[in-house]
Amino acid sequence: MTVDSTERPLGPTDIVEVMQYLYTVGLNTGCAGNASCRVGRQKYLITPSGVEPTVLSPELIVRMPPSDATAVSGLEPSSEAGMHGAIYAARPDVSAIVHTHSPYATALACLRKPIPAFHYMVAVAGGDSIRCAPYATFGSKELSDNAVEALRDRNACLLANHGVLALGADPLAAAMMAREVEQLAMQYCIAAQSGEPVLLDEVQMKEVLEKFKTYGHRSE
């Protein structure tokens, strides 16, 4: 996959590719999960409801908002389209969202536990923890509100008894964030089996977050 929102506009193919990637690496199975990307200030593209990534094609991607939602197939948008829209409205810095039901992160979500600062890479999501949003029925406004709050100053969160949300500048970046969250969740679960993981303190995490501001940046 080569997705770069800085070189070309995002489109349906980006969503198809990222959904197939998430399926291939095991972050989603069957029809679970969804993905979207922003294509205007108030418009975005999103996966249709109930279509497996193996048969997904650009023609099946749905254009939002609902007032002009269209898909060649006539398929309905993902049941979480409202949540994606609410996140875009609250976060103008975000251009893509992926939602997964990845095993370890979802297991923690079912325990309604956040991922704390047991490892410095927790900072990759933008803070000293990866929050877990309170439970609400899928597709509901309550879930959208809970997700927006859990993502305040963050680029990923867990959804209680549900799964993961990850944000990015393009679908691939969001997918990489979701993969990092799953890796951290797996490590945390393994560590917790042997005892109580030792957490980094506030000062240590602030230092990490500061260093992350230039992490991976090339000098000119």
Active site residues: 80
CB 125 within 8 A of CB 154: yes
- Token pair for residue 120? 């410095």
CB 162 within 8 A of CB 214: no
Closest CA to 179 of 15, 23, 10, 8: 23
CA dihedral 152, 117, 25, 19 (to 10 degrees): 0
How far apart are the C-alpha atoms of 69 and 169, rounded to whole Å? Answer: 23
- Token pair for residue 33? 């999960």
How far apart are the C-alpha atoms of 11 and 34, rounded to whole Å? Answer: 15
CB 96 within 8 A of CB 35: yes
How far apart are the C-alpha atoms of 186 and 4, rounded to whole Å? Answer: 28
Q: What's the DSSP call for residue 123? A: G
